[in-house]
Structure 1
């Protein structure tokens, strides 16, 4: 089983009023294909920093991040943008949909950015919308969707360019219990069916039984309890 994302000896620190503050301290984690890993920890423990580094949005002070065996450290801006487009799929707390684009257009926009052929993109978008139960909503604007539907569109958009890794930041925070479970079930299902690695930062203990592993961020490191 191959590891689709590996964080090796990640340290991240910054200067705060003349003091060096360490947020992540020699953190290590590997996530294999088909695996959904939950990351928990109190506010201020460094979860957002961890996710930003895993998603090539922030470069750590030291250490390495490998996505499909390729390091993201030290890459030029354009290379990082390409990697985020093709290798990493992001699902945020609020769906962050573009308000003036219909559901299907949200997906086609991402495909266009990734350089996908228009015919192929249309086929993939329709396949994903069908899979996530959104075919009947493909011509709806975000304001007409329920919270659960918006998050399903966000999952479809994250999957559009067939990334190696899915990164979810509190994806159930604005949803009730049953919709939250549905969303995490979909993320776990996609990871398993498509051989992706998925990392989800969450406070929602209700969804933990759907995860393969639960890690806690403590003193800058990830530990299993």
Structure 2
């Protein structure tokens, strides 16, 4: 089975008052096509660092990340930016929509940055908004939308360039239980229907039934269950 996201021997260290602090220690992860993996762990365990490295936003101190078979090792800042536009879709804690753009404009901007022609982009935006139940909100500004609507719009934006990999950082943290479940259900369905690899950092145990695997980050390593203390 094809792995669309691969992290090999990822190490990340920071200097803390002259002392080197290892956040991630030879961490490895392979996420298959159509698989949604949840990553849990205590505060300060390195989940944000892990997700930033998986998303080519932060370079590891050692190891490599491959997105759809393409290594990030040795790439320039511009090449990494292009790779993120082509291969990655991000969903954050808050929707992070641009306040002065309407919903459809948010999606069209992402497509333009990714080099998609306007006609094809408009067709894809319309399809995504319809699929996510936002067709009637295409001309709405973020401030006029509910929290659930904004998060669905953020998912549509993340899917606009048909990325190989989806990365979600606490996507339900600002939502009530019903809207949170809806958001993760959408992420899971899109992952399976379009053979993407998806990783979701979460504290919300209610959404775990939608995930194919649940991993725990502690002591710089990912494991299938919390490490004994």
TM-score (norm 1): 0.99
Matched, 1:127 2:124: no
How much does 1:79 deviate?
A: 0.8
In the alignment, what sits opposite 1:159?
A: 159
Q: Which residue of 2 aligns with 1:21?
A: 21
CA offsets, 1:23-45, max 9 Å, x none? Answer: 00010000011000000001100
Summarize deviations over 1:72-129 as a string: whole Å, max 9, x none. 1210111101000010000000000000100100000000001100000000000000
Distance 2:124 2:147 in 1: 23
How far apart are 1:13 and its partner, in Å?
Answer: 0.3
Residue in 2 that maps onto 1:149: 149
Quick check: 1:99 aligned with 2:99?
A: yes
Aligned to 1:38: 38
Residue in 1 aligned with 2:177? 177
C-alpha displacement of 1:177: 0.3
Inter-partner Cα distance in structure 1 for 2:102 and 2:69:
36
The CA deviation at 1:203 is 0.4
Q: How many angstroms apart in 1 are the aligned matches of 2:17 and 2:108? A: 46
Q: State how far apart, in whole Å, the 2-side matches of 1:186 and 1:27 are.
A: 28
User: In structure 1, the residue corresponding to 2:74 is in which secondary structure?
Assistant: coil
More off after superposition, 70-79 vs 51-60: 70-79
Q: 2:60 aligned with 1:63, yes or no?
A: no
Which residue number in structure 1 is paired with residue 84 of structure 2?
A: 84
The structural deviation recorded for 1:155 is 0.2
Structure 2: how far apart are the matches of 1:120 and 1:20? 49
Match status 1:187 vs 2:167: no
User: Aligned residue pairs: how many?
Assistant: 225
Using the alignment, how far apart are the partners of 2:97 and 2:54 within structure 1?
22
Other-structure match for 1:49: 49
> What secondary structure sits across from 2:124 in the alignment?
helix
Are 2:2 and 1:2 aligned?
A: yes
Q: Find the counterpart in structure 1 of residue 216 from structure 2.
A: 216
Runs (4 or more) in structure 1 with deviation over 4 Å come to: none
Gaps of 5+ in 1: none
**Deviation for aligned residue 1:164:** 0.2
SS at structure 2 position matched to 1:108:
helix
Could you tell me how far 1:137 is from its partner in structure 2? 0.4
RMSD: 0.5
**How far apart, CA to CA, are the structure 2 residues paired with 1:69 and 1:159?**
19
3-state SS of paired residue (1:79): helix
Q: Measure how far apart 1:18 and its partner are.
A: 1.4
- For 2:20 and 2:76, the matched residues in 1 are separated by 27
SS at match of 1:191: helix
